[in-house]
Amino acid sequence: MKAWRWLGGALVLLALAVGASVHGQGGDKKGKEGDAKGKDPGKGKVTEQGKGKEQGKGKQPGPEAGGSGTKLEWKAFGKPGDKLWQKMETTTTQKMKVMTMEVTQKQTQTFYVEWITEKVTDADYVVKQKIVGVKMDIEIGGNKISYDSMNTKETQQNPLTEFFKALVGQEFTLTIDRKKLTAKVEEKDREKFIENLSRANPQLKELLKAILSKEALEQMADPVFSALPEGGDVPKGNEWKKKSVLNMGPIGKYTTDYDFAYKDTGKDGLATILVKTELKYEPPGPDTKDKDSLPFKIVSATLKSTKGSGEVKFDTKAGRIETSKMSMDLTGDLDIEIAGQTTAVHLEQTQTSTLETLKDDPLKGAKKQ
């Protein structure tokens, strides 16, 4: 989910930088098994997140001690022609303090994504990922901007909405490792994506190349199966870890550590996975490519998350994520240089991201308008 929320945030940032009024705003993944401390094999209980689920008493059992007793296996891309639709929504509230002035920015961004399986081999899935709908609601300093690709009759017309409009219809061919569940995007798709986005403002083409790296676009597949353990086997202890590194060039680098814990599986076949996250931000270094492309420079920053948690519901029968919800608070200080002058900014941010797998094509309702 992270790549999607930063994609929307980056586009807002870019558009604001070239035309709107602003006051003063992939990835390397390594799956690791968690410590075998979430379960006491001698007592048959799952402690911490899974506590209270005793085996042998008619309740949903957890994984067997010393093994991978539970499977969370991806199945949704089973054969060519299989389709999947998802809705990904991120709500962000930022409070920025610059000297004595305080500015609040609120943003809600929604992406509707279609997945179509094109080819299945023993090692990979080859799928087409397409952005079929985009909604944006932004409020900065009391000024509101809205865009809804599914209801163009009420859409505002301004330079910012042109960026959002360019997203609709963009697609990528992804090759997904069936065991590791990591994606590779074709370079030609990345180049086409950047070319289409830069038509709204050709001056941003080089900056888009720096921000929307191949690794960043590959992370756009993360929300589909990033919470699943490698191979689908829940490790001993019911816990596993992952790390995600998103480098956005002149905007900086975001490193997120994820701790996943399998809780249980209900009679409906929905498995619950609990998530804890920790995010750290690094400002762009002196050797960062295109560091002079933005109208400002991030000189230094001490941003980090103060808390982050969530819950994922995985449909074990259909073999796909049904829903997920993640919340994170971010706080810290930045020194931003504009026109040779450095200004101190204090930032407090609250962000909630949700994912929902849809039963039908989300464009069906829009086509009736």
Tens-place pLDDT, residues 101-150: 898 989 999 999 999 999 999 999 999 999 999 999 988 877 888 889 98
Does 55 reside within a domain? Answer: no
Helix axes 159-167, 187-198, angle to 10 degrees: 150
CA distance 92 to 110: 12
> CB within 8 A of 130, min separation 6: which ones?
113, 114, 115, 116, 169, 170, 171, 172
Parent domain of 116: 2-50+67-359
Q: Are 88 and 362 in contact (CB under 8 A)?
A: no
What would the pLDDT profile of 4-36 be if each residue is shown by its tens digit?
444 444 444 443 333 322 222 233 334 334 443
Low-confidence ranges of the chain (pLDDT < 50): 1-67, 367-369
Is residue 205 in a domain? yes
Is residue 62 one of the residues assigned to a domain?
no
233: Cβ contacts below 8 Å, ≥ 6 apart: 68, 70, 71, 72
Residue 244 exposure: Cα atoms within 13 Å on the Cβ side: 25
pLDDT for 159 equals 65
Q: How many structural domains is the chain composed of?
A: 1
3-state secondary structure of 352: strand
Give the pLDDT confidence score for residue 116 in this predicted structure: 96
Closest CA to 237 of 2, 78, 33: 33
Q: Tell me what pLDDT residue 46 has.
A: 39
Give the residue among 88, 91, 107, 84 at the shortest CA–CA distance from 25.
107
Q: How many CA atoms lie within 13 A of 220 on its CB side?
A: 31
pTM, two decimal places: 0.79
Backbone angles phi, psi at 80, to 5 degrees: -55, 135
Determine, yes or no, domain membership for 142.
yes
Per-residue pLDDT at 43: 41
Q: For residue 263, which of 116, 12, 87, 61 has the smallest C-alpha distance? A: 61
| Residue 194, CA atoms < 13 Å, CB-side half-sphere | 19
In a domain, 317, yes or no: yes
Domain assignment of residue 365, yes or no: no
Name the residue type at position 32: K
Q: Is 91 among the domain residues?
A: yes
- In this structure, the chain runs to a length of 369
Whether residue 366 is contained in a domain is answered as no
